[in-house]
Amino acid sequence: MPTKNSTRRWLLAACATAVLVGLSALMFRSDAPSSMKVVSKPLPPMPFVAAQAPARATPPPPVLQVSVRENYIVQAESVEAARSAVTRAGGVVTGELSIIRAVGAALDDRELEALRASDVPRLRIFEDSPVQASSPAGVLPETYYPSEVSASSLHVGGVMGRGVAVAVLDSGVWSDLGPLQTTPYATPHVLAQYDVIQARTNPTYSQTAAQQNYSQSINDLFGHGTHMSSIIASSGVATTGNFQGVAPASNLVAVRVLDSTGAGRYFDVISGIQWVLRQKLRYNIRVINLSLGAPPQSPYWDDPLDQAVMSAWASGIVVVAAAGNRGPQPMTINAPGNVPYVITVGAVTDAYHPLQPLQYQLASFSSAGPTYEGFVKPELLGMGGHILAYAPNNGTLAQQFPQWVGPFDDFTMSGTSQATAVVSGVVALMLQANPYLTPDQVKCRLMSGAHPAVTSKGTLAYTVFQQGAGLVNAHDAAYSTATNCANQGLNVSLDLAGVQHYGGRANRDSKGNYYIMSEQSTTVCSGGGLLGGLLCLVKDVLSLVPLLLDGLFWNGSYTAGSGYTWSSGYTWSSGYTWSNGYTWSSGYTWSSGYTWSTGNTYTGTDLSKQQ
């Protein structure tokens, strides 16, 4: 019995222990952290939003349909005023262009009308016009253009553009830099790269690029930008021992404003110029190369791209722009080459006879002047026919025209784009030789050193509306001492401020002939005042009487001739006064009948063959 009792007691104790253990386990489980615990807490009271605006009492506002937005540039008295105006109209601000007191804007038709109806001082609305590279393409196995413009002779003396940076606003530079890797002094060619298109589409790009000191490669998907950069600065050495580039020791700043097809927008080019102005001291940017353009849409002073270019010139940067490939007809100069201040470049071809000047001729595609405002353009010519230069072998151009890709990752193209790059290289040489030249002085010496095409009779083979002062000559420009022969009568500061605008000396008679108006002196007197008497000034004014001097009269025709001497000994009868500026008036024959572009016409790689 004692054994049975003890066994019974042991079983009861075991059962009690098991119950206690189970209860303990349940207690511990209820305290363990889990989603269950969160749910078990009381929920905070939910805000009663519906009571604030009962659906039956106030119906919801109608949803306005937003149609397709287009890109515009909106200008006002300040960037802030332009931004506010766009926002009030319901549009979207896409970027700032403080260089011209403007913003980029995306607006549909309703927003555009609201903006136009707003009372905003100095409000101007521009279509964000397309621009494109000015280069058709072709093939040639060699290049001679540094020698053809007398740059190679300067290289021998050590003038190679050292210390001068050229900003190339184009499609970028190929990540495989090749002969653009280093200068002859083993220093980097490319100092900085900036992608305006990425900056517009990616909000974080600008900050990231700045943090990386603009050292990240942006590549060249089109091929045009690398071609321009190589013409300017390639340090590759040809089999002759000559450098392939015009200024092989110069530096490059690559600013991408054109996409993989060579097309771009006004906003991007203006934004690129704005970035260059902010960085000019950091990289010693002395030259901007603009091998691009679009047909003008308005007078130069009323065009936002032209305004940005004028700002760059006023800041001390030499701007070199392509005339365009819409020749040989008159009045075909592209914007921004229509700006009177800048150096606008037409094209010469050696007609596949390198280093034989008697075979050189004005390229038929080279755009001719005058401009709508009566200015003689281009100022001068550069080599622009079948130009060979380093370029990507996998870009859009190389894929479209594989037959024009050379064996050394080079490519051949023709156009005023190439001629412009040649002249930009020459400017870099000039600024190494004389770093203190102003943009106006550079332009003056380029013109005074140029060699015009002259017939066997000693007369000009082409008018000033076609060849300007003639073919650029690097040696004569670099060592010229000419002064006060460019942009006379113009004031870029007053122009930008809207105080004064200017016209040139060109006009057209009733028969369609273009001529240079003669200049007459007249006396203007004003009197009275506290001291009494008259104050008289002698002022030069323009007359509709033609100035009948050599090369200043043109019937608009083009002759594909050769056998001309590109002479350094030609004497201009009246200096370069045909390039002077005067207070703008509407006394030009075409003033009321000129057809402006709508901004939808593209120029660029549109020639079927090389010259």
Q: Do 149 and 271 belong together in one domain?
A: yes
Q: Do 111 and 238 belong together in one domain?
A: no
C-alpha–C-alpha distance, residues 519 and 580, integer Å: 11
Q: Do 105 and 236 belong together in one domain?
A: no
Q: Do 146 and 116 belong together in one domain?
A: no
Do the beta carbons of residue 200 and residue 264 sit within 8 Å? no
Q: Is 317 helix (H, G, I), strand (E, B) or coil?
A: coil
Q: Do 186 and 232 belong together in one domain?
A: yes
Catalytic annotation on 109?
A: no
Residue 135, in any domain of the structure: yes
**Catalytic: which of 128, 170, 220, 409?**
170
**H or E stretch including 389?**
strand 387-390
Residue 452, in any domain of the structure: yes
Catalytic annotation on 170?
A: yes
Q: Do 200 and 227 belong together in one domain?
A: yes
Instruction: Work out the number of other CB atoms within 10 angstroms of the CB of residue 12.
Output: 10
Count of domains for the chain: 2
Q: Do 111 and 139 belong together in one domain?
A: no
Ranges under pLDDT 70 in the chain: 1-66, 132-142, 519-551, 569-578, 581-609
Q: Do 227 and 364 belong together in one domain?
A: yes
Last residue of one domain, picked from the residues 59, 93, 128? 128
Do the beta carbons of residue 215 and residue 253 sit within 8 Å? no
**Catalytic: which of 224, 227, 451, 475?**
224
Catalytic annotation on 451?
A: no
Last residue of one domain, picked from the residues 113, 128, 143? 128
The residue with tokens 């401020």 is: 497
> What integer pLDDT is reported at residue 407 of this predicted model?
85
Q: Do 140 and 122 belong together in one domain?
A: no
**Catalytic: which of 367, 417, 424, 480?**
417
Number of helices and strands (H, E) in the chain? 17, 26
Q: Do 309 and 339 belong together in one domain?
A: yes
Residue 427, in any domain of the structure: yes
Range(s) of the domain holding residue 120: 70-128
Instruction: Give Cβ neighbours of residue 224 (< 8 Å, ≥ 6 apart).
Output: 133, 135, 170, 171, 258, 262, 291, 391, 397, 413, 417
Residue 122, in any domain of the structure: yes
Residue 337, in any domain of the structure: yes
C-alpha–C-alpha distance, residues 417 and 395, integer Å: 18
Is 0.95 surpassed by the pTM of this model? Answer: no
Phi first, then psi, for residue 508 (nearest 5°) are -135, 135
Do the beta carbons of residue 186 and residue 215 sit within 8 Å? no
State which amino acid sits at residue 584: W
Q: Do 207 and 330 belong together in one domain?
A: yes
Question: Residue 198 belongs to a domain with what CATH number?
Answer: 3.40.50.200
Residue 522, in any domain of the structure: no
